[in-house]
């Protein structure tokens, strides 16, 4: 068994879900590991990772709308507003989702379900560069 | 160190939490790995995984009731309603919980806390077959 | 590649976020593994793990306030109230966050983002001893 580490930079341009499935698949395919475990890690606290349906874009719209409703951008709710009304909601939305994912790898591909895609969920309104680490171990 | 991969099919019959602790323990016990790390992965976006208290069934009831209240099944909230009023809420409830779990393995058993059980959280109302992958690595 | 297992006891004194970054870093530094993957696992269902901003304490305050608002401590909402009004909300808040974390390790350190800290999120009001397992694999 061996391990390999990589990273991707994901450029985001406002709140929403950015699919990275194809880029992650391409990276895994290049590592010459057939079977194992892939771990993704996002080095930020105002963006997060999510596996979600990649068939109907309305799912992504509704998901984002839910988080806007449950975690309102209203500065009266928060003490931490230095970077604007989306600052603290970004941290809360990240806490409600996750900073890392693990996915089994089969035949050199992440073994995603038929409708599963891998997303970076951007919670800030301004453009950002997000750093995503990939760790793969296996044979 | 070596790795082994397996899978379980979990049949669900409507929304709620389905405990899989015993089946997961039995699978781990059969792998002849004493110490290591177990990763569970669910190949769906309308069901999820959760570690929760397995002592009082009221906990599972209250947990489910909370998710029904916070993520209402009201089609006016959503664009994505093709498969009925539980369709989009299922995706959101899955996003609020998780698609994978990792648990240390000690002496051939997942090292769960005293009150911890492993659950598949079904978010759809109709019967489903859910695919759960298990990845174990260790010595 | 090899693996090593350890544990930390985290004493909490009421609800809130307890940073464990320095203790986790010290444990990792002592294992003589330079590159790999660290997994943290919390053996409880009324406390959870979270990666959050460690620069401004107001973030932790606002985060906790959000969870108090969304998951109210009102016994009329719940059947499971044996241990008081914070009992069932603790389980729900744990379900909304997570029981485990995985973080890549680089040069003998968890490769956290610049603003990321590792927290135990205590959801119970009374003092508790929380057991946190650490699993590290790598070279």
Q: Over chain A, what is the mean pLDDT? A: 97
ipTM score assigned to the predicted complex: 0.97
Tens digits of residue pLDDT in C26-69: 999 999 999 999 999 999 999 999 999 999 999 999 999 999 99
Q: How far is C127 from chain A (nearest CA, A)?
A: 24
B56 and chain C in contact, CB less than 8 A: yes
Whether residues A45 and C116 touch (CB distance < 8 A) is answered with yes
The token duo for C120 is: 């135990």
Alpha-carbon span B29 to A123, nearest angstrom: 42
The pLDDT of residue B3 is 98
* Residue A135 pLDDT level (bands cut at 50, 70, 90): very high
Query: Which pLDDT belongs to residue C123?
Result: 98
pLDDT in tens, A11-21: 999 999 999 99
Note the pLDDT tens digit of each residue in C107-136. Answer: 999 999 999 999 999 999 999 999 999 999
Q: Rounded to two decimals, what is the model's pTM?
A: 0.98
CB A34 within 8 A of CB A118: no
Under DSSP, is residue C105 helix (H, G, I), strand (E, B) or coil? strand
Contact (CB<8Å) A101/B99: yes
Instruction: Tell me the per-residue pLDDT of B20-76, one tens digit each, with 9 for 90 and over.
Output: 999 999 999 999 999 999 999 999 999 999 999 999 999 999 999 999 999 999 999
Q: Which residues of C touch B102 (CB under 8 A)?
A: 39, 41, 100, 102
Cα A116 to chain centroid distance, Å, stands at 13
Q: What integer pLDDT is reported at residue B10 of this predicted model?
A: 98
Q: Which of A100, B41, B50 is nearest to C40 (CA)?
A: A100
H or E segment at A111? none
Q: Chain B residue closest to A138 (CA)? A: B3
Give the pLDDT of residue C126: 97
Q: Which chains touch C (3 or more CB pairs under 8 A)?
A: A, B
State the residue for tokens 């909300």: C89
Q: Which residues of B touch C41 (CB under 8 A)?
A: 102-104, 111
Cα→Cα distances B91→A64, B136, C97, Å:
11, 28, 17
Question: Does the distance separating the beta carbons of C80 and B104 come in below 8 Å?
Answer: no
In the structure, how many helices (H) and strands (E) does chain B have?
Answer: 3, 8
Mean pLDDT computed over A94-122: 98
Chain A residues touching C116 at Cβ < 8 A: 43-45, 99
A80 CA: distance to closest CA in chain C (Å)? 6
* Contact criterion met (CB < 8 Å) for C133 and B114: no
Query: Rounded distance, CA A138 to CA B3, Å?
Result: 7
Beta strands B47-53 and B116-122 are: antiparallel
For residues B120 and B49, is the Cβ–Cβ distance under 8 A?
A: yes
Q: Is A73 helix (H, G, I), strand (E, B) or coil?
A: coil
Q: How many CB atoms lie within 10 A of CB B22?
A: 10
Residue A97: pLDDT band (50, 70, 90) is very high
Asked if B59 reaches chain C (Cβ–Cβ under 8 Å), the answer is yes
Mark C107-118 as b/e (b = at least 16 C-beta within 10 Å): ebebbbbebbbb
A102/A39 Cα distance (integer angstroms):
4
Instruction: For residue B31, count other CB atoms closer than 10 A to its CB.
Output: 19
The SS3 call for residue B90 is: helix
Asked if A80 lies within 8 A of C36 by C-beta distance, the reply is: no
pLDDT (average), residues B10-14: 98
Q: What pLDDT band is residue B4 in, cutting at 50, 70 and 90?
A: very high
- Check residue B49 and give its pLDDT: 98
Q: Do B92 and A63 touch (CB under 8 A)?
A: yes
10 Å CB burial of residue B93 (0-12, 13-18, 19+) is buried
Of the candidates C56, C63, C138, the beta carbon closest to that of A3 is on C138
Which residue has 């990276």 as its token pair?
Answer: A27
Residue A132 pLDDT level (bands cut at 50, 70, 90): very high
For all residues of chain B together, what is the average pLDDT?
97
User: Which of C51, C62, C70 is facing A45, going by the closest CB pair?
Assistant: C51
Task: Give pLDDT tens digits for A45-92.
Answer: 999 999 999 999 999 999 999 999 999 999 999 999 999 999 999 999
User: Which residues neighbour B64 within 8 Å (Cβ) at sequence distance 6 or greater?
Assistant: B15, B16, B17
């Amino acid at each position: 068994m061996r391990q390999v580490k990589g990273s991707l930079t994901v450029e985001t341009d406002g709140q929403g879900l950015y699919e990275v499935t194809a880029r992650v698949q391409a990276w895994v395919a290049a590592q010459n590991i057939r079977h194992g475990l892939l771990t993704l890690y996002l080095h930020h606290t105002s963006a997060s990772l999510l596996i979600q349906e990649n068939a109907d874009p309305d799912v992504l719209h509704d998901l984002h709308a839910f988080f806007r409703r449950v975690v309102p951008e209203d500065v009266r709710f928060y003490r931490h507003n230095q970077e604007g009304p989306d600052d603290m909601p970004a941290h809360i939305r990240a806490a409600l989702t996750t900073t890392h994912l693990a996915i089994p790898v089969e035949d050199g591909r992440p073994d995603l379900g038929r409708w599963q895609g891998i997303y970076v969920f951007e919670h800030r309104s301004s453009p950002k560069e997000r750093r995503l680490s990939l760790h793969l171990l296996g044979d």
